[in-house]
Amino acid sequence: MEIIARISRMQARSQQLKREGKSIGFVPTMGALHEGHLSLMRRARAENDSLISSIFVNPTQFGPGEDYKTYPRNMDQDRKLAAGVGVDIIFAPSVTEMYPEGYATYIEVDGLTEGLCGRARPGHFRGVTTVVTKLFNIVRPDRAYFGQKDYQQAIVIKRMTADLHLGPEIIIMPIIREPDGLAMSSRNRYLSKEQRQAALVLSHSLKKAEEMLGRGERDGEIIKDQMAQLIQQEPLAETDYISVVDSDDLTESTEIKGQVLIALAVRIGRTRLIDNILWKDPNSTKI
Ligand code: AMP
């Protein structure tokens, strides 16, 4: 496995792979790898001749007062995990390599970025779409893999890729969870033992929503209310948002029809965690 820090070197390697007629699968990450990341890499490994993954904690997607400085970084461990699932090249540029002095260009996607995490984290998606565009231009992948864990991010990137004719096929993979239901996240490392237990309210509240939908409840407000009540019972948890939205355009669904995304963000101490489920009405004709 090769580790590349320079953009020029990464571009040359990608061009070489293309000349050899090899397809490129790409998994962008911020490192502190876990099974969620590895699941994307395994799928990408199976579907492409070569597999490139990036490890870059992207400063432009963190807001002031967020955890950019403390975000877990563990290159030695990441290197072993990536090699174990057959990554060919890790692209790990420095911040100045990606954003040299005088850097001034940003990509923005309207509409889809306005609700959910976009509302709670102003500027976050502008940072994400900018860095992903840059990474796509450097790596030139045929297919790029993203997790449903960050559902809004994945569909924003899908939209941007189509709108800007960036090229790669975007593949969205299911959420990998711990045995007790907690969605895997690099940020879970911040949690104390008590907080780790309290963090189960996210998946529990989504289970509750799923049960209500199964019993025929179709009022998004009632579902959000019940989820909020469940979260309130956990003293270490504070709700950031709970949303029930159409899974395609992310508009609020008061009356649930077709496929919806139920998504939430909850603070456990200073750690902000997100989780979601997709739910499809069994009577829906929408594919
Ligand atoms: P991150 O390093 O957090 O930026 O995540 C890199 C990629 O891994 C993103 O596409 C995430 O959606 C995906 N990812 C993170 N956690 C999980 C998970 N628990 N299950 C599946 N994919 C995940």
Q: Where do the structural domains in the chain lie, given as residue ranges?
A: 2-173, 186-280
Give me 147's structure tokens. Answer: 């997790």
Q: Is 173 in the pocket of ligand 1 (CB under 6 A)?
A: yes
Tell me which residues are annotated as active site. Answer: 37
For the domain made up of 2-173, the CATH class stated in words is alpha beta
Residue 4: C-alpha distances to residues 51, 79, 93, 225, 284 (Å): 13, 12, 7, 48, 48
DSSP 215-238: TT--BHHHHHHHHHHHHHTSTTEE
pLDDT tens digits for the chain (287 residues)?
999 999 999 999 999 999 999 999 999 999 999 999 999 999 999 999 999 999 999 999 999 999 999 999 999 999 999 999 999 999 999 999 999 999 999 999 999 999 999 999 999 999 999 999 999 999 999 999 999 999 999 999 999 999 999 999 999 999 999 999 999 999 999 999 999 999 999 999 999 999 999 999 999 999 999 999 999 999 999 999 999 999 999 999 788 989 999 999 999 999 999 999 999 988 876 55
185 lines ligand 1 (CB under 6 A): yes
Phi and psi angles of residue 278, each rounded to the nearest 5 degrees, phi first: -100, 135
Pocket test for ligand 1, best of 30, 37, 278 (most atoms within 8 A of CB): 37
Question: Which is the closest atom of ligand 1 to the Cα of 146?
Answer: 10
Give start and end residues of each alpha helix (H) in 48-93.
Answer: 75-84
Most ligand 1 atoms within 8 A of CB, residue of 87, 116, 150, 272 to mutate: 150
Phi-psi map region of 65: left, alpha, beta (phi>0 left; psi -120 to 50 alpha): left
Distance (angstroms) between ligand 1 centre and the Cα of 160 equals: 19
Distance CA 58, CA 235 (A): 32
Q: Look at the domain 186-280 and name its fold.
A: Pantoate--beta-alanine Ligase; Chain: A,domain 2 (3.30.1300)
Q: Does the beta carbon of 127 lie inside 6 Å of ligand 1?
A: no
User: For the chain, how long is the longest CA-to-CA vector?
Assistant: 58
Whole-model pTM above 0.95? yes
- Residue 252 to residues 79, 118, 119, Cα–Cα distance (Å): 41, 14, 13
Task: Tell me if 175 CB under 6 Å of ligand 1.
Answer: yes
Ligand 1 pocket test target in 27, 39, 40, 190 with most atoms within 8 Å of CB:
40
Same fold, 2-173 and 186-280: no
Q: Does the Cβ of 52 fall within 6 Å of ligand 1?
A: no
At 45, phi and psi to the nearest 5? -60, -45
> In the prediction, which pLDDT does 281 show?
86
Q: Are 225 and 212 in contact (CB under 8 A)?
A: no
